[in-house]
Structure 1
Amino acid sequence: MSLANDVGYPALFGLVMAESGGVPVPGETALIAAGVLAGQGQLDLALVIVVAASAAIIGDNLGYLIGRRGGRRLLERPGRFATQRQRVLEVGEPFFERHGPKAVFFGRWILGLRVWASWLAGITRMRWRSFLAFNALGGISWAATVGVLAYVAGDAVGAIIRDVGVGALVVVAIVLAVGLFLRHRRHAGP
């Protein structure tokens, strides 16, 4: 067996599950890398999607449980940053009451929300059945979408890196980031 087969699936599962549970690790990056490796024939795309979706669902449920059992106490405790933690509850509770299922589903595609949505859902006492359903739908669709896009784009990304070089890609990424920042500032106003 290849190194990708021996390490790829367990690493993908561990990173996606940890990120989904609230640990800031590169879970989505692992899924992208696994999709690219599947495009190169080193991993099986269907298995990549199943592993990533399962890890996302399990990790999110662990994060929900952590949030439900101890997250509120953590946010309400006195001490450093108590005001900011209280603000999380003041904003989070009404938000999750109105938009909880959407936040759980769409949060899969938003880095900050992907890492903390499960905790916030538990802390704000979102109904577990609703959480589970939207978490599963989000995890499956996220794993399939990102995995397939990485699978399809994998050869193109490899060709660009080979032909243009990593340095040119970094320059393009910086130019795009600066352009997006300037656009955001212009639209945000004074």
Structure 2
Amino acid sequence: MNVEHWLVSVPPILVYVLAGGVVGLESIGIPLPGEIVLVTAALLASRHELDVSPHGVALAAVVGAVVGDSIGYAVGRRYGDRLFGFLGRRFPDHVNDDLLAYARHLFSRYGMVAVFFGRFVALLRIFAGPLSGSLQMAYPRFLVANVCGAIAWAGGTTYLVYYVGTAAESWLKGFSFVGLGIAVVVGITASTVLRRRVQRNVEAYAAARRAAEGV
């Protein structure tokens, strides 16, 4: 079975469940490629031979993001540092003291704004719920920022990718699903560049913090 035939045969409900599930688990605090899965699902929706709806993808991702963040908030509020210690042991490449300190700085200083814009940055997205809970942010305020951020990020990404994919479909007809692969690679590259930029900010903040503490 070739890749194209397999993709055409994928049940739409599986695409929605996968998109919502991965985004939801990432929002709880588990480092997963939510952005890549969302972009791939939106690109599948842009293929007219598939029965995947962009509205279904967007709705699943928004619900997954809101529910996942709310669970992360509840866990962070109840367990706090114990949760981050567990995540650090299980995912040392993604969760460490420097990144947590930088994220705490952002969420403590900017509150709802950090929750909203943190949704657009992979390294911060996994901390939005748990950190907001551990910092005792009022849940109604968190929920408003969470829902708005989820709609802007998940809905905006889905429809942007969908319409770009639809517009480009005529150019990619001769390449079948090669266009899908190219788009995913571009998405991964862009995400990597943004992640490295945030990582530099984390390193600069950590260096400044250690200098101030005389370490």
Category of TM-score, reference length = shorter chain: 0.7 to 0.9
What is the Cα deviation at residue 70 of structure 1? 0.5
> Does residue 56 of the first structure (1) align with residue 65 of the second (2)?
yes
2:36 alignment partner, one of 29, 35, 41: 29
C-alpha distance in 1, partners of 2:185/2:15?
A: 26
Match of 1:128 among 135, 139, 146: 139
| Aligned partner of residue 109 in structure 1, secondary structure | coil
The answer to whether the 8 A contact 1:20-1:118 is kept is yes
Q: Matched residues in 1 for 2:12 and 2:85: separation?
A: 45
Structure 1 segment 64-143 matched on structure 2, within 5 A: 64-74=73-83, 85=97, 88=100, 95-143=106-154
Gaps of 5+ in 2: 1-7, 205-215
- Residue correspondences, number: 173
Displaced runs of 4+ in structure 1, greater than 6 A? 163-167
Name the CA shift for 1:74/1:12 in 2 (closer, same or farther; >3 Å): closer
**Inter-CA distance 125–152: structure 2 relative to 1 (3 Å threshold):** same
Q: Which amino acid aligns with 1:54?
A: V
Code of the aligned partner of 1:52: A
CA distance in 1, matches of 2:111, 2:55: 29
Q: Percent identity among equivalent residues?
A: 35
Where 2:32 maps in the other structure, the secondary structure is coil
Gaps of 5+ in 1: none
